[in-house]
């Protein structure tokens, strides 16, 4: 029997979703997360609780608290962890969220802006917490949800933070989308359908490349071996897909290494990967190998005030604020700062784009065994602003300007 947990923020989208699901006669529970970021959060929590009472369905609420602040990503992770706990504890089989076609358009535009290979938008469903996460409103534009809410006299709450342009999604929503819709009014539906078609194409492509891997790659517990010539017979998108599948299988990103070694004129070579992994090119084969155990990295540290003196493993450095033309512009970062080791997928913003921290380490010729002990300074948004002693993120808008700056010494 399907038991549905509906994620309800109190906004119009999730209120419409909840009303529809209940009208369809499903067995429903309501989940709400209090982020504690705005004065209205208390009232919204009580509004959703009362809404669940009105529909006579179970209410599951949680109040999040990050003593030192948190990024959007950290709140999202905590939110979905709560949903997972509720689903497993109370035997729900589906989590439903109220993403709609306008969200789909924004996501596709963000993926294009970030030069993502798989421009597929938001999936309609995916496995989650032993069941699945479903987005039943994904093909419907926002205007239809508004019309539904008015038709049935529904009550909802407006999140004032959605009107700001502090975050990329809001910038896309308020500054870019209106201009696009002015010239192509049906763009939401067109992009929604195109994204759905792309997801189908990518599902087919992944199935095809899974079969290719079974036929062409020797898979071992902690290694794989594949002929370079076989990889070169694939087109770039197929090679990307193979790289993604192998990366997911072994828990380490190998796609870039495969491309670099294949295009190298050298007959042999080695590419250092994250952690204890390496990819070797030799005798016509590309081989992934675990080269040893990763070293235990120092614990994360939090910096909230300046000046601060930091001891991280064997590294000693200080953080202070000075008026200068060099250094990290203070207004461009958000406190608190986290001092930590490199993590899988870390990338730094540079003037030329983004660059993986693992690649920066390789270019700087930092031995693999020393990388866990190199301090990264990360602000509250999750941006890596400095790799101490190696590289500082670029802030082109403040280049050469006299302003308060964070100095790492």
Q: How far apart are the first and last CA of the chain?
A: 61
Confirm or deny that 9 is annotated as ligand binding.
yes
CA dist., res. 199 & res. 123, Å (int): 7
* Neighbouring C-alpha atoms within 13 Å toward the C-beta of 304: 4
Query: Which strands sit side by side in the sheet containing 308-312, from one edge to the other?
Result: 308-312, 315-324, 403-408, 328-329
Contact 32, 61 (CB under 8 A): yes
The percent of the chain in helix, strand and coil, each rounded to the nearest 5, is 40, 25, 35
Q: Is 11 annotated as a binding residue?
A: yes
Instruction: Tell whether residue 353 is among the known ligand binding residues.
Output: no
Whether 324 has a binding-site annotation, put simply, is no
Q: Are 347 and 354 in contact (CB under 8 A)?
A: yes
Report which secondary-structure segment, H or E, holds 231: helix 228-232
Asked whether 102 and 110 are in contact (CB, 8 A), the reply is no
Under 8 Å between Cβ of 242 and 261: no
d(CA 4, CA 95): 6
- Cβ count near 259 (within 10 Å): 16
Nearest-10 Cα torsion for 359, 360, 366, 367: -20
Give the integer Cα–Cα distance in Å for 190 and 184: 10
Binding-site annotation: residue ranges? 9-14
The binding site for ATP comprises 9-14
């Amino acid at each position: 029997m399907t038991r549905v947990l509906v994620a309800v923020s109190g906004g119009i989208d999730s209120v419409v979703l909840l009303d529809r699901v209940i009208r369809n006669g499903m067995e429903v529970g309501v989940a709400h997360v209090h982020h504690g970021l705005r004065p209205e959060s208390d009232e919204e929590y009580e509004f959703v609780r009362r809404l669940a009472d009105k529909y006579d369905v179970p209410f599951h609420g949680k109040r999040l608290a990050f003593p030192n602040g948190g990024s959007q990503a950290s709140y999202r992770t905590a939110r979905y962890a709560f949903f997972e706990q509720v689903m497993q504890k109370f035997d729900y089989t589906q989590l439903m969220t109220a993403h709609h076609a306008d969200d789909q358009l924004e996501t596709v535009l963000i993926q294009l802006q970030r030069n993502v290979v798989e421009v597929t938008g938001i999936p309609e469903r995916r496995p989650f917490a032993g069941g699945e996460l479903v987005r039943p409103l994904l093909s419907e534009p926002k205007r239809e949800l508004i019309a539904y809410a008015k038709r049935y006299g529904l009550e909802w709450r407006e999140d004032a933070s959605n009107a700001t342009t502090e975050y990329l999604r809001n910038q896309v929503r308020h500054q870019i989308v209106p201009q696009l819709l002015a010239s192509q009014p049906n763009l939401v539906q067109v992009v929604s359908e195109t994204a759905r078609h792309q997801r189908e194409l990518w599902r087919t492509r992944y199935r095809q490349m899974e079969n290719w891997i079974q036929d062409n790659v020797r898979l071992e517990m902690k290694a794989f071996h594949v002929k370079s010539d076989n990889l070169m017979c694939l087109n770039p998108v197929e090679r990307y897909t193979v790289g993604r599948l192998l990366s997911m299988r072994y828990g380490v990103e190998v796609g870039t290494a495969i491309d670099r070694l294949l295009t190298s004129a050298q007959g042999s070579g080695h590419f250092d990967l994250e952690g204890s992994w390496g990819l070797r090119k030799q005798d016509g084969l590309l081989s992934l190998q675990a080269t040893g155990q990763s070293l235990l990295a120092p614990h994360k540290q939090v910096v909230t005030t300046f000046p601060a003196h930091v001891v991280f493993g064997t590294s000693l450095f200080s953080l202070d604020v000075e008026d200068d033309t060099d250094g990290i512009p203070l207004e461009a970062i958000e406190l608190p700062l986290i001092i930590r080791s490199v993590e899988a997928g870390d990338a730094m913003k540079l003037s030329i784009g983004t660059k993986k921290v693992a690649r920066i380490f390789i270019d700087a010729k930092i031995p693999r065994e020393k990388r866990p002990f190199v301090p990264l300074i990360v602000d509250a948004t999750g941006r890596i602003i400095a790799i101490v002693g190696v590289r500082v993120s670029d802030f082109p808008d403040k280049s050469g300007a006299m302003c308060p700056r964070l100095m790492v010494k």
